[in-house]
Structure 1
Protein backbone atom coordinates (compact mmCIF):
# COMPACT_ATOMS: atom_id res chain seq x y z
CA UNK A 1 0.00 0.00 0.00
CA UNK A 2 1.47 3.35 -1.04
CA UNK A 3 0.91 5.05 2.31
CA UNK A 4 3.04 2.41 4.09
CA UNK A 5 5.61 1.84 1.36
CA UNK A 6 8.28 3.83 3.21
CA UNK A 7 7.51 2.46 6.69
CA UNK A 8 10.19 0.53 8.56
CA UNK A 9 10.11 -3.25 8.12
CA UNK A 10 10.00 -3.75 11.90
CA UNK A 11 6.91 -1.56 12.32
CA UNK A 12 5.24 -3.28 9.36
CA UNK A 13 5.91 -6.68 10.89
CA UNK A 14 4.27 -5.59 14.14
CA UNK A 15 1.29 -4.14 12.25
CA UNK A 16 0.91 -7.33 10.21
CA UNK A 17 0.89 -9.45 13.37
CA UNK A 18 -2.04 -7.44 14.74
CA UNK A 19 -4.03 -7.16 11.52
CA UNK A 20 -7.20 -9.08 10.72
CA UNK A 21 -8.34 -10.18 7.25
CA UNK A 22 -12.07 -10.20 6.62
CA UNK A 23 -14.38 -11.03 3.70
CA UNK A 24 -17.63 -9.16 3.06
CA UNK A 25 -20.52 -10.01 0.75
CA UNK A 26 -21.91 -7.39 -1.62
CA UNK A 27 -24.08 -4.97 0.34
CA UNK A 28 -22.60 -5.87 3.73
CA UNK A 29 -21.97 -3.01 6.14
CA UNK A 30 -18.37 -2.70 7.29
CA UNK A 31 -18.66 0.41 9.43
CA UNK A 32 -21.59 2.54 10.49
CA UNK A 33 -21.83 6.18 11.43
CA UNK A 34 -20.52 6.88 14.97
CA UNK A 35 -18.72 3.52 15.14
CA UNK A 36 -16.14 3.95 17.93
CA UNK A 37 -13.48 1.69 16.39
CA UNK A 38 -10.26 3.23 15.09
CA UNK A 39 -9.06 0.53 12.70
CA UNK A 40 -7.68 1.49 9.31
CA UNK A 41 -9.05 -0.65 6.49
CA UNK A 42 -7.14 -1.63 3.37
CA UNK A 43 -9.15 -2.87 0.39
CA UNK A 44 -7.37 -5.92 -1.00
CA UNK A 45 -10.10 -7.08 -3.38
CA UNK A 46 -13.45 -5.56 -4.37
CA UNK A 47 -14.81 -2.08 -3.75
CA UNK A 48 -16.21 -0.16 -0.76
CA UNK A 49 -18.57 2.81 -0.74
CA UNK A 50 -18.19 5.60 1.82
CA UNK A 51 -21.35 7.62 2.42
CA UNK A 52 -23.17 9.79 4.95
CA UNK A 53 -26.85 10.44 5.62
CA UNK A 54 -28.19 13.98 5.86
CA UNK A 55 -30.61 15.06 8.63
CA UNK A 56 -33.35 14.85 5.99
CA UNK A 57 -32.56 11.16 5.50
CA UNK A 58 -30.87 11.47 2.10
CA UNK A 59 -27.73 9.44 1.41
CA UNK A 60 -24.71 11.31 0.05
CA UNK A 61 -21.88 9.29 -1.47
CA UNK A 62 -18.44 10.60 -0.55
CA UNK A 63 -16.26 8.14 -2.46
CA UNK A 64 -15.80 4.58 -3.70
CA UNK A 65 -12.60 2.89 -2.53
CA UNK A 66 -11.26 0.24 -4.90
CA UNK A 67 -8.55 -2.39 -4.42
CA UNK A 68 -5.32 -0.73 -3.35
CA UNK A 69 -7.08 2.03 -1.41
CA UNK A 70 -7.78 2.52 2.27
CA UNK A 71 -10.26 4.23 4.57
CA UNK A 72 -10.60 4.98 8.26
CA UNK A 73 -7.28 6.81 8.67
CA UNK A 74 -8.92 10.00 9.98
CA UNK A 75 -10.55 8.20 12.93
CA UNK A 76 -7.24 6.46 13.62
CA UNK A 77 -5.52 9.84 13.83
CA UNK A 78 -7.99 11.78 15.99
CA UNK A 79 -9.66 8.93 17.88
CA UNK A 80 -13.16 10.34 17.25
CA UNK A 81 -16.16 8.20 16.20
CA UNK A 82 -16.72 7.55 12.51
CA UNK A 83 -18.37 10.32 10.54
CA UNK A 84 -19.38 8.10 7.61
CA UNK A 85 -20.52 4.56 6.88
CA UNK A 86 -18.70 2.00 4.73
CA UNK A 87 -20.47 -0.70 2.68
CA UNK A 88 -19.07 -3.37 0.37
CA UNK A 89 -20.24 -2.76 -3.20
CA UNK A 90 -19.20 -6.23 -4.36
CA UNK A 91 -17.73 -9.22 -2.61
CA UNK A 92 -14.61 -7.77 -1.00
CA UNK A 93 -11.60 -8.79 1.03
CA UNK A 94 -10.25 -6.24 3.49
CA UNK A 95 -7.41 -6.02 5.96
CA UNK A 96 -8.12 -4.17 9.22
CA UNK A 97 -5.10 -2.66 10.98
CA UNK A 98 -5.54 -1.38 14.57
CA UNK A 99 -5.08 2.37 14.92
CA UNK A 100 -2.02 2.16 17.16
CA UNK A 101 -0.26 -0.30 14.85
CA UNK A 102 -1.10 1.76 11.79
CA UNK A 103 0.15 5.02 13.30
CA UNK A 104 3.35 3.36 14.53
CA UNK A 105 4.06 2.14 11.00
CA UNK A 106 3.01 5.39 9.33
CA UNK A 107 5.23 7.42 11.65
CA UNK A 108 8.16 4.99 11.72
CA UNK A 109 10.12 7.02 9.15
CA UNK A 110 9.92 10.64 7.97
CA UNK A 111 9.06 9.45 4.43
CA UNK A 112 6.17 7.30 5.69
CA UNK A 113 4.84 10.15 7.83
CA UNK A 114 4.95 12.48 4.83
CA UNK A 115 3.04 9.91 2.76
CA UNK A 116 0.29 9.83 5.39
CA UNK A 117 0.12 13.63 5.51
CA UNK A 118 -0.18 13.80 1.74
CA UNK A 119 -2.92 11.17 1.75
CA UNK A 120 -4.99 13.03 4.34
CA UNK A 121 -4.38 16.34 2.58
CA UNK A 122 -5.61 14.86 -0.71
CA UNK A 123 -8.81 13.71 1.04
CA UNK A 124 -9.40 17.18 2.49
CA UNK A 125 -8.77 18.86 -0.87
CA UNK A 126 -11.13 16.48 -2.67
CA UNK A 127 -13.93 16.90 -0.16
CA UNK A 128 -13.48 20.68 -0.05
CA UNK A 129 -13.73 20.86 -3.83
CA UNK A 130 -16.91 18.81 -3.87
CA UNK A 131 -18.39 20.91 -1.06
CA UNK A 132 -17.77 24.09 -3.05
CA UNK A 133 -19.40 22.50 -6.10
CA UNK A 134 -22.48 21.48 -4.13
CA UNK A 135 -22.85 24.94 -2.62
CA UNK A 136 -22.21 27.01 -5.75
CA UNK A 137 -23.02 24.99 -8.87
CA UNK A 138 -26.47 24.16 -10.28
CA UNK A 139 -27.32 20.49 -10.74
CA UNK A 140 -26.36 20.60 -14.42
CA UNK A 141 -22.79 21.67 -13.68
CA UNK A 142 -22.46 19.33 -10.71
CA UNK A 143 -23.26 16.49 -13.11
CA UNK A 144 -20.59 17.77 -15.51
CA UNK A 145 -17.99 17.87 -12.73
CA UNK A 146 -18.83 14.40 -11.42
CA UNK A 147 -18.84 12.79 -14.87
CA UNK A 148 -15.42 14.30 -15.55
CA UNK A 149 -14.16 12.96 -12.20
CA UNK A 150 -15.47 9.46 -12.92
CA UNK A 151 -14.23 9.36 -16.52
CA UNK A 152 -11.02 8.14 -18.09
CA UNK A 153 -9.53 8.74 -21.56
CA UNK A 154 -11.12 6.67 -24.30
CA UNK A 155 -8.74 4.20 -25.88
CA UNK A 156 -9.68 3.42 -29.45
CA UNK A 157 -7.76 2.40 -32.54
CA UNK A 158 -10.52 3.48 -34.89
CA UNK A 159 -9.27 5.99 -37.44
CA UNK A 160 -12.26 8.28 -36.90
CA UNK A 161 -12.20 8.08 -33.11
CA UNK A 162 -12.18 11.37 -31.24
CA UNK A 163 -9.01 11.29 -29.17
CA UNK A 164 -10.45 13.82 -26.73
CA UNK A 165 -13.42 11.66 -25.74
CA UNK A 166 -13.65 10.19 -22.25
CA UNK A 167 -15.71 7.28 -20.94
CA UNK A 168 -17.43 6.46 -17.68
CA UNK A 169 -17.60 2.70 -17.27
CA UNK A 170 -19.53 1.14 -15.73
CA UNK A 171 -22.10 3.96 -16.02
CA UNK A 172 -23.56 5.03 -12.65
CA UNK A 173 -27.29 4.67 -12.17
CA UNK A 174 -29.23 7.89 -11.92
CA UNK A 175 -29.98 7.59 -8.20
CA UNK A 176 -26.32 6.81 -7.48
CA UNK A 177 -25.12 9.84 -9.43
CA UNK A 178 -27.74 11.92 -7.62
CA UNK A 179 -26.37 10.71 -4.27
CA UNK A 180 -22.84 11.61 -5.35
CA UNK A 181 -23.71 15.23 -6.12
CA UNK A 182 -26.43 15.90 -3.56
CA UNK A 183 -29.35 16.15 -6.00
CA UNK A 184 -32.62 14.37 -6.76
CA UNK A 185 -32.81 11.55 -9.26
CA UNK A 186 -35.50 13.28 -11.31
CA UNK A 187 -33.29 16.33 -11.80
CA UNK A 188 -30.36 14.14 -12.86
CA UNK A 189 -32.55 12.31 -15.38
CA UNK A 190 -33.71 15.60 -16.94
CA UNK A 191 -30.16 16.88 -17.27
CA UNK A 192 -28.96 13.60 -18.79
CA UNK A 193 -31.67 13.80 -21.43
CA UNK A 194 -30.57 17.34 -22.26
CA UNK A 195 -26.90 16.31 -22.48
CA UNK A 196 -27.77 13.54 -24.91
CA UNK A 197 -30.00 15.83 -26.99
CA UNK A 198 -27.13 18.32 -27.31
CA UNK A 199 -24.68 15.59 -28.29
CA UNK A 200 -22.37 16.17 -25.32
CA UNK A 201 -22.72 12.60 -24.08
CA UNK A 202 -23.77 9.30 -25.63
CA UNK A 203 -24.73 5.90 -24.30
CA UNK A 204 -22.83 2.83 -25.38
CA UNK A 205 -22.96 -0.69 -24.07
CA UNK A 206 -21.56 -0.58 -20.56
CA UNK A 207 -20.43 3.04 -20.76
CA UNK A 208 -21.28 6.71 -21.01
CA UNK A 209 -19.15 8.56 -23.55
CA UNK A 210 -18.27 12.20 -22.95
CA UNK A 211 -18.16 13.48 -26.52
CA UNK A 212 -16.88 16.95 -25.67
CA UNK A 213 -15.25 16.86 -22.22
CA UNK A 214 -13.52 20.20 -22.84
CA UNK A 215 -16.93 21.87 -23.17
CA UNK A 216 -18.09 20.37 -19.88
CA UNK A 217 -14.87 21.34 -18.11
CA UNK A 218 -14.99 24.91 -19.42
CA UNK A 219 -18.59 25.35 -18.24
CA UNK A 220 -17.70 24.19 -14.71
CA UNK A 221 -14.55 26.30 -14.47
CA UNK A 222 -16.30 29.41 -15.81
CA UNK A 223 -19.06 29.16 -13.20
CA UNK A 224 -16.61 28.57 -10.34
CA UNK A 225 -14.52 31.55 -11.43
CA UNK A 226 -17.63 33.70 -11.62
CA UNK A 227 -18.61 32.66 -8.08
CA UNK A 228 -15.10 33.53 -6.89
CA UNK A 229 -15.28 36.92 -8.60
CA UNK A 230 -12.35 36.17 -10.92
Structure 2
Protein backbone atom coordinates (compact mmCIF):
# COMPACT_ATOMS: atom_id res chain seq x y z
CA UNK A 1 0.00 0.00 0.00
CA UNK A 2 1.30 3.46 -0.87
CA UNK A 3 1.56 5.58 2.26
CA UNK A 4 3.47 8.52 3.74
CA UNK A 5 4.17 7.02 7.14
CA UNK A 6 7.94 7.55 6.87
CA UNK A 7 7.79 11.23 5.84
CA UNK A 8 9.34 13.26 8.68
CA UNK A 9 7.37 16.42 7.91
CA UNK A 10 4.09 14.55 8.43
CA UNK A 11 5.09 12.65 11.58
CA UNK A 12 2.81 14.75 13.81
CA UNK A 13 -0.28 13.76 11.81
CA UNK A 14 -2.43 10.74 12.52
CA UNK A 15 -2.32 7.72 10.21
CA UNK A 16 -5.75 8.69 8.89
CA UNK A 17 -4.57 12.23 8.09
CA UNK A 18 -1.48 10.92 6.30
CA UNK A 19 -3.60 8.50 4.30
CA UNK A 20 -5.87 11.37 3.27
CA UNK A 21 -2.85 13.31 1.99
CA UNK A 22 -1.49 10.21 0.23
CA UNK A 23 -4.79 9.90 -1.63
CA UNK A 24 -4.28 13.42 -3.02
CA UNK A 25 -0.78 12.62 -4.31
CA UNK A 26 0.33 11.35 -7.66
CA UNK A 27 2.89 8.54 -7.34
CA UNK A 28 5.81 7.79 -9.63
CA UNK A 29 8.96 5.67 -9.66
CA UNK A 30 12.19 7.06 -11.13
CA UNK A 31 15.31 5.21 -12.25
CA UNK A 32 18.78 6.18 -11.03
CA UNK A 33 20.04 9.10 -13.11
CA UNK A 34 16.58 10.07 -14.36
CA UNK A 35 15.60 13.74 -14.37
CA UNK A 36 12.73 14.45 -11.97
CA UNK A 37 12.49 18.23 -12.18
CA UNK A 38 14.12 20.72 -14.52
CA UNK A 39 15.26 24.15 -13.37
CA UNK A 40 13.06 27.11 -14.39
CA UNK A 41 10.08 24.91 -15.22
CA UNK A 42 6.69 26.21 -14.15
CA UNK A 43 5.53 23.39 -11.86
CA UNK A 44 4.60 23.73 -8.22
CA UNK A 45 4.12 20.27 -6.68
CA UNK A 46 5.87 19.26 -3.48
CA UNK A 47 7.55 15.84 -3.64
CA UNK A 48 7.86 13.41 -0.75
CA UNK A 49 10.72 10.89 -1.02
CA UNK A 50 9.02 7.65 -0.01
CA UNK A 51 12.06 5.52 -0.92
CA UNK A 52 15.43 6.04 -2.55
CA UNK A 53 17.56 9.18 -2.88
CA UNK A 54 17.52 12.32 -5.02
CA UNK A 55 20.07 15.09 -5.70
CA UNK A 56 19.26 18.80 -5.95
CA UNK A 57 21.46 20.11 -8.78
CA UNK A 58 22.21 23.12 -10.92
CA UNK A 59 24.54 23.72 -13.85
CA UNK A 60 27.03 26.52 -14.47
CA UNK A 61 27.53 28.28 -17.79
CA UNK A 62 30.31 25.81 -18.61
CA UNK A 63 27.96 22.91 -17.98
CA UNK A 64 29.59 21.86 -14.70
CA UNK A 65 27.10 20.22 -12.37
CA UNK A 66 26.75 21.71 -8.89
CA UNK A 67 25.04 19.53 -6.28
CA UNK A 68 23.27 21.49 -3.56
CA UNK A 69 22.06 18.57 -1.48
CA UNK A 70 21.19 14.88 -1.47
CA UNK A 71 17.83 13.94 0.04
CA UNK A 72 16.88 10.48 1.23
CA UNK A 73 13.87 8.49 2.30
CA UNK A 74 11.49 10.48 4.48
CA UNK A 75 12.47 13.92 3.17
CA UNK A 76 10.79 16.29 0.72
CA UNK A 77 11.57 18.95 -1.88
CA UNK A 78 9.85 21.50 -4.11
CA UNK A 79 8.39 23.59 -1.30
CA UNK A 80 9.85 26.89 -2.57
CA UNK A 81 7.77 26.89 -5.77
CA UNK A 82 4.75 25.69 -3.83
CA UNK A 83 5.05 28.63 -1.44
CA UNK A 84 5.68 31.49 -3.89
CA UNK A 85 4.35 30.10 -7.18
CA UNK A 86 7.64 30.81 -8.96
CA UNK A 87 9.58 28.61 -11.35
CA UNK A 88 11.83 25.84 -10.08
CA UNK A 89 15.11 27.21 -8.68
CA UNK A 90 17.07 23.99 -9.25
CA UNK A 91 16.89 20.66 -10.99
CA UNK A 92 16.36 17.33 -9.26
CA UNK A 93 17.89 14.00 -10.33
CA UNK A 94 17.25 10.51 -9.00
CA UNK A 95 20.43 9.29 -7.27
CA UNK A 96 18.99 5.80 -7.01
CA UNK A 97 15.74 4.09 -7.90
CA UNK A 98 13.15 6.02 -5.93
CA UNK A 99 9.43 6.27 -5.27
CA UNK A 100 8.04 9.80 -4.99
CA UNK A 101 4.64 11.17 -4.02
CA UNK A 102 3.78 14.56 -5.54
CA UNK A 103 1.31 16.79 -3.71
CA UNK A 104 -0.21 19.71 -5.63
CA UNK A 105 0.45 23.29 -4.55
CA UNK A 106 -3.07 24.02 -3.31
CA UNK A 107 -3.21 20.82 -1.26
CA UNK A 108 0.22 21.60 0.22
CA UNK A 109 -0.81 25.14 1.16
CA UNK A 110 -3.97 23.76 2.77
CA UNK A 111 -1.78 21.37 4.77
CA UNK A 112 0.36 24.26 6.01
CA UNK A 113 -2.60 26.47 6.94
CA UNK A 114 -4.29 23.65 8.85
CA UNK A 115 -1.13 22.61 10.73
CA UNK A 116 0.94 25.48 12.22
CA UNK A 117 3.62 23.07 13.49
CA UNK A 118 4.19 21.75 9.97
CA UNK A 119 4.25 25.30 8.62
CA UNK A 120 6.93 26.25 11.16
CA UNK A 121 8.96 23.19 10.21
CA UNK A 122 8.90 24.27 6.56
CA UNK A 123 9.87 27.85 7.50
CA UNK A 124 12.77 26.60 9.64
CA UNK A 125 13.99 24.44 6.76
CA UNK A 126 13.89 27.38 4.35
CA UNK A 127 15.82 29.48 6.87
CA UNK A 128 18.49 26.76 7.13
CA UNK A 129 18.80 26.64 3.35
CA UNK A 130 19.32 30.41 3.23
CA UNK A 131 21.99 30.27 5.93
CA UNK A 132 23.83 27.38 4.22
CA UNK A 133 23.74 29.15 0.86
CA UNK A 134 25.00 32.38 2.46
CA UNK A 135 27.94 30.42 3.90
CA UNK A 136 28.71 28.81 0.55
CA UNK A 137 28.60 32.13 -1.28
CA UNK A 138 31.06 33.52 1.27
CA UNK A 139 33.27 30.44 0.89
CA UNK A 140 33.37 30.78 -2.89
CA UNK A 141 34.26 34.46 -2.56
CA UNK A 142 36.97 34.16 0.08
CA UNK A 143 38.40 30.64 0.23
CA UNK A 144 40.59 28.47 -1.96
CA UNK A 145 39.48 25.04 -3.16
CA UNK A 146 41.26 23.11 -0.37
CA UNK A 147 39.67 25.32 2.28
CA UNK A 148 36.23 24.95 0.70
CA UNK A 149 36.49 21.17 0.83
CA UNK A 150 37.38 21.33 4.54
CA UNK A 151 34.54 23.75 5.24
CA UNK A 152 32.07 21.44 3.49
CA UNK A 153 33.23 18.46 5.55
CA UNK A 154 32.72 20.44 8.77
CA UNK A 155 29.34 21.66 7.53
CA UNK A 156 28.15 18.08 6.89
CA UNK A 157 29.52 16.64 10.13
CA UNK A 158 27.25 15.76 13.04
CA UNK A 159 28.19 14.82 16.63
CA UNK A 160 29.16 11.18 17.05
CA UNK A 161 26.49 9.62 19.31
CA UNK A 162 29.00 7.08 20.62
CA UNK A 163 32.28 8.96 21.09
CA UNK A 164 32.47 12.27 22.92
CA UNK A 165 34.12 15.22 21.14
CA UNK A 166 34.02 13.33 17.85
CA UNK A 167 32.11 14.14 14.68
CA UNK A 168 31.03 12.03 11.75
CA UNK A 169 29.52 12.18 8.28
CA UNK A 170 27.16 9.32 7.38
CA UNK A 171 26.62 8.37 4.68
CA UNK A 172 29.75 9.97 3.27
CA UNK A 173 28.98 11.47 -0.17
CA UNK A 174 31.17 10.54 -3.10
CA UNK A 175 34.17 12.71 -3.91
CA UNK A 176 32.41 13.88 -7.08
CA UNK A 177 29.38 15.06 -5.10
CA UNK A 178 31.56 17.00 -2.65
CA UNK A 179 33.49 18.50 -5.55
CA UNK A 180 30.30 19.72 -7.22
CA UNK A 181 29.09 21.31 -3.99
CA UNK A 182 32.22 23.42 -3.55
CA UNK A 183 32.98 24.06 -7.23
CA UNK A 184 36.24 22.13 -7.51
CA UNK A 185 37.48 18.83 -8.96
CA UNK A 186 37.20 15.29 -7.64
CA UNK A 187 40.99 15.11 -7.66
CA UNK A 188 41.20 18.08 -5.27
CA UNK A 189 38.72 16.43 -2.90
CA UNK A 190 40.72 13.18 -3.00
CA UNK A 191 43.94 15.07 -2.27
CA UNK A 192 42.40 16.92 0.70
CA UNK A 193 40.91 13.75 2.18
CA UNK A 194 44.24 11.99 1.72
CA UNK A 195 46.09 14.76 3.56
CA UNK A 196 43.56 14.93 6.40
CA UNK A 197 43.69 11.13 6.76
CA UNK A 198 47.50 11.06 6.73
CA UNK A 199 47.62 13.69 9.50
CA UNK A 200 45.05 11.83 11.61
CA UNK A 201 42.30 14.44 11.39
CA UNK A 202 39.80 12.15 9.66
CA UNK A 203 39.26 8.40 9.38
CA UNK A 204 37.01 6.62 6.90
CA UNK A 205 35.32 3.35 7.84
CA UNK A 206 32.82 1.95 5.39
CA UNK A 207 30.30 4.66 4.55
CA UNK A 208 31.27 6.81 7.55
CA UNK A 209 33.90 9.55 7.71
CA UNK A 210 35.00 10.33 11.27
CA UNK A 211 36.34 13.82 12.03
CA UNK A 212 38.66 12.93 14.88
CA UNK A 213 39.66 16.51 15.62
CA UNK A 214 37.37 19.15 14.19
CA UNK A 215 39.29 21.99 15.82
CA UNK A 216 42.48 20.89 14.03
CA UNK A 217 40.65 21.03 10.70
CA UNK A 218 39.46 24.55 11.53
CA UNK A 219 43.05 25.52 12.42
CA UNK A 220 44.22 23.97 9.15
CA UNK A 221 41.73 26.11 7.19
CA UNK A 222 42.87 29.27 9.01
CA UNK A 223 46.55 28.40 8.51
CA UNK A 224 45.95 28.14 4.77
CA UNK A 225 44.21 31.52 4.90
CA UNK A 226 47.19 33.14 6.63
CA UNK A 227 49.75 31.64 4.26
CA UNK A 228 47.73 32.78 1.25
CA UNK A 229 47.22 36.27 2.62
CA UNK A 230 43.50 35.84 3.39
CA UNK A 231 41.74 36.89 6.57
CA UNK A 232 41.23 33.82 8.83
CA UNK A 233 37.62 32.73 9.03
CA UNK A 234 35.87 33.00 12.40
CA UNK A 235 34.27 29.89 13.89
CA UNK A 236 30.65 29.42 12.82
Normalised by the length of structure 2, the TM-score is 0.79
What SS is found at the alignment partner of 2:74? coil
Displacement, 1:182?
Answer: 1.2
CA distance in 1, matches of 2:207, 2:19: 42
Number of residue equivalences: 223
Find out whether 1:57 has 2:58 as its counterpart. no
Q: 1:113 aligns with which of 116, 119, 143?
A: 119
Distance 1:94 1:201, change over 3 A: same
Q: Deviations over 1:13-40 (max 9, x none)?
A: 7644321121112222111112211100
- Equivalent residue for 2:3? none
CA distance in 1, matches of 2:81, 2:231: 34
CA distance in 2, matches of 1:120, 1:7: 21
What SS is found at the alignment partner of 2:121? helix
CA distance in 2, matches of 1:112, 1:152: 24
Distance 1:74 1:201, change over 3 A: same
- Equivalent residue for 1:159? none
What SS is found at the alignment partner of 2:114? coil
What is the RMSD of the two structures over their aligned residues, measured on CA atoms?
3.1
Displacement, 1:50?
Answer: 0.3
Matches within 5 A, 1:80-99: 80-99=86-105
CA distance in 2, matches of 1:114, 1:44: 22
CA distance in 2, matches of 1:226, 1:48: 35
Normalised by the length of structure 1, the TM-score is 0.81
Find out whether 1:32 has 2:33 as its counterpart. no
- Equivalent residue for 1:183? 184
What SS is found at the alignment partner of 1:38? coil
What SS is found at the alignment partner of 1:95? strand
Gap regions ≥5 residues in structure 2: 1-6
CA distance in 1, matches of 2:91, 2:200: 37
CA distance in 2, matches of 1:210, 1:9: 39
| Segment of structure 1 superposing worse, 119-128 or 65-74 | 119-128
Find out whether 1:198 has 2:199 as its counterpart. yes
